[in-house]
Amino acid sequence: MTTPLAPPRLVDDELDLFAELLPLGRGLDVVELGCGNARLARALLRRFPGCRVTGLEVDTRQHAKNLADPQPGLEFVAAGAQAIPRPDASFDLALMLKSLHHVPVEAMDAALAEVRRVLRPQGWLLVSEPVYAGALNEIVRLFNDEGAVRAAAQAALDRALAGGGWNAVLERRFDAPVHYRDFADFERRMIDVTFAEHHLDDATRAAVRARFQPHRGADGAAFTRPMHLRLLCRRDR
């Protein structure tokens, strides 16, 4: 008899999972590629003040907001993963959290090579990518279908491993809860964002709203986003 697979773990705070997998208490030099509003980087430093984090971001408006809110141990740099303005072997850990699929497909291989360059020997790369599945994905794909780029991100990781520069440490599947107060909150966070600037016509916006509304309850709309985490370690050839 085949034992049924356990459902993916629900992870309210990704930092809890990362702390289980990595020695963050050791005081690591961390680079986050595509840090966005740096929510996780800031939380990491509050919990592990011995770490130092460099957050890279290509969205100039978000980068300006980050600079306006400094925090000890946190440095912000306007740059992308395919051109990291730091010397070789600068970091112990690189984080790509829902960001690898935002790298242009033709630059993904170069970005992973660049990440390897700035990691120290035996340094880690943690990539956490959304899976192309689930009710939330069915809504978002009406205006931002990421099926191809998410598949390309996983393929780029496979190529990087096959190239011999990395060791695969582990993989995890988990579910991340996502909550929106109402459709206006969804629009603000998912449609009218500075890093993408989706321009929806009235018909598309109405279709998105119609698909969103059945998920609303008294406390808003709750979803779970399936995630695929891969942890790699730099291998010295």
pLDDT per residue, tens digit, the chain (237 aa), is 555 556 789 999 999 999 999 999 999 999 999 999 999 999 999 999 999 999 999 999 999 999 999 999 999 999 999 999 999 999 999 999 999 999 999 999 999 999 999 999 999 999 999 999 999 999 999 999 999 999 999 999 999 999 999 999 999 999 999 999 999 999 999 998 765 566 789 999 999 999 999 999 999 999 999 999 999 999 986
Distance CA 13, CA 139 (A): 23
Q: Which domains does the chain have, with CATH numbers?
A: 9-132+145-176+227-234 (3.40.50.150)
At 94-131, the pLDDT tens digits run 999 999 999 999 999 999 999 999 999 999 999 999 99
What secondary structure does DSSP assign to 141-170, as a single string?
TTT---HHHHHHHHHHHHHHHHTTSEEEEE
* Prediction pTM value: 0.93
